[in-house]
A and B are shown apart, each in its own frame.
Chain A
């Protein structure tokens, strides 16, 4: 009987990996009540103290490691855990429980932490509710130190393996030793989950949202992960295994050639330059941009600062974080997008009400314009930090001219305030807007005279144009950036921008899709901003083609009637033209 099984998930970190499965089992069974003898109380209290000390050491080690590898913001997660370890009243009550009820340290710990976690579960605000995960994390760690082997931890991996889990949290990912973890596959998670962001940063091929990988996979199974296509193959036949090993070797060799082009700019064979920038969330990803040879940051999503900080950071904190990015990138441009909050990126404190249609609701620039007390400090922070580098500013989700004018007015206000306070900032900072609402694309010629650049946000542009919520599993496959309607809107925007003498970039996921590269170059985009991991491959494509052929492909694509036609056209052309590039292992 053929036991081979192929699952399809969401690819979030590119690459091909083969290896034995390591199943991270999260101990979910309840710790059973267990009692101790009178004489054992002291010993039990000592066990608790020892476990607490080990846990603290553990957390401090992780915190140091996080600061080194992934930056302060992720390290703060461990600060929060260490704060919990310092909660004397809670631990005193656990000790009292052990003494008076004569129960084991495990049981007392488990009961207490679970009760606390559950009371957080019941909170209405995300900010408070998310603390439940921290509490459970610390509880698990303590239990693991108490018993020695209650849960599998990533530290248990003893040979290079493919990590398989229901879900991973940041502290798990931090423990990942890239030597030992060849790839990651999880049941849960989406493109913007912690797992996605962090595995991309670490360069480990990763596929999430597989739903049933933890039940389908068995310990020791050979697993193939295709982080480009999202395919995960379990127990491949010898023939399949050989084929994938060959692909893996080919892929590694290819990666090596990509390193050679790191310092080069993305210029076509006939001399046309495209700026290749990176989309980043964490200020610490700025380093990665340099590592992969990016020209700058085309989209710095500032919302992550809010989520990582556990709330709206003060103007000073923001200024510090923005300056850090500026200093890392020096004279490479950094485009900071003002907060795009609300909708499905909620955060408490600004009075978000449940909406029946959050994507079309009170979010992004709409929230910002209604809440100057949030927007002005951010603008001031960006302006102040602009003296440390080459910043550009961008407003999200502009749907009408009034919004653009109001936003620019707020920027003027921020500048005037700084002027009267005698605080310096870059007076010639470029100000642009995202084109993601179809009305803005259709009327781009009316906006162009008032901004220094456009950046097309294809994620939302596709959603709004095709009326598809891509987080809705039932219709997600209708979300097609290759749809001719979308391509036309891109072209309209580019033409309007160039007509007015401004540059036009693109910062949606579409920019990181190699199948789209020549098409986008041919449509006239001056800049592509994408996930850092894909920059080398896209650069290689650009370096290997001519603008003339890109323009020709774009014309052909625009003559198609459906997204499938466009994709098939491109797939056929690209595979034939660039047959040695292993990126086609993914079914783009």
Chain B
């Protein structure tokens, strides 16, 4: 769940996308309600328009999925280093 103040706007979205993009052998998807977007696409992530308190599901698949997931979870837990 997103706990940082403004949710997923440009700045935190870019942190997320940069991490996801690092793991070239792993796919990253963000799911919200019925929508699924590619976690490596800044536009995709922003189009989710996830405000604070949103529940997002992060799906990873690939050889580096564990590392990828733990880095992404760390980011969300640290409120994207925003606040």
Contact = CB atoms under 8 A, between A and B. Distances in A.
A131 B46 CA distance: 9
A311 B5 contact: yes
B10 interface: yes
Interface in B63-83: 82-83
A312 interface: yes
A310 interface: yes
Interface in A82-131: 83-84, 86-90, 116, 119-120, 123-125, 127-128, 131
A314 B43 contact: no
Contacts of B52: 349
Given A88-B21, A123-B49, A348-B51, A310 B43 contact: no
Contacts of A125: 49, 51
A88 B21 CA distance: 9
B6 A80 contact: no
Q: Chain B contact residues (Cβ within 8 angstroms of A): what range?
A: 20 to 34
Contacts of B40: 88-89
Nearest to A135: B43
Q: Chain A contact residues (Cβ within 8 angstroms of B): what range?
A: 20 to 34
B49 A116 contact: no
B49 A128 contact: yes
Contact of B6 (A88, A135, A311): A311
Nearest to B21: A88
B59 interface: no
Contacts of A124: 49
A80 B9 CA distance: 11
Contacts of B47: 116, 119-120
B26 interface: no
A123 B8 CA distance: 13
Interface of B: 5-7, 9-11, 14, 17, 21, 38, 40-44, 46-47, 49, 51-52, 82-83
Interface centre among A86, A90, A123, A128 (most CB of B within 10 A): A128
Nearest to B14: A83
Given A119-B47, A131-B10, A312 B42 contact: no
A123 B51 CA distance: 11
B42 A310 contact: no
Contacts of B51: 125, 348-349
B42 A314 contact: no
A84 B43 contact: yes
A88 B38 CA distance: 10
A83 B42 contact: yes
22 contacts: A83-B14, A86-B21, A86-B42, A87-B42, A87-B44, A88-B21, A90-B43, A116-B47, A120-B46, A125-B49, A125-B51, A127-B9, A128-B49, A131-B46, A135-B43, A310-B9, A310-B10, A311-B6, A348-B51, A349-B5, A349-B6, A349-B7
B41 A90 contact: yes
B49 A89 contact: no
A204 B15 CA distance: 38
B36 to A, nearest CB: 12
A311 B9 contact: yes
B43 A87 contact: yes
Contacts of A309: 11
Contacts of A314: 82-83
B3 to A, nearest CB: 12
Contacts of B42: 83-84, 86-87
Contact of A312 (B6, B10, B41, B44): B6
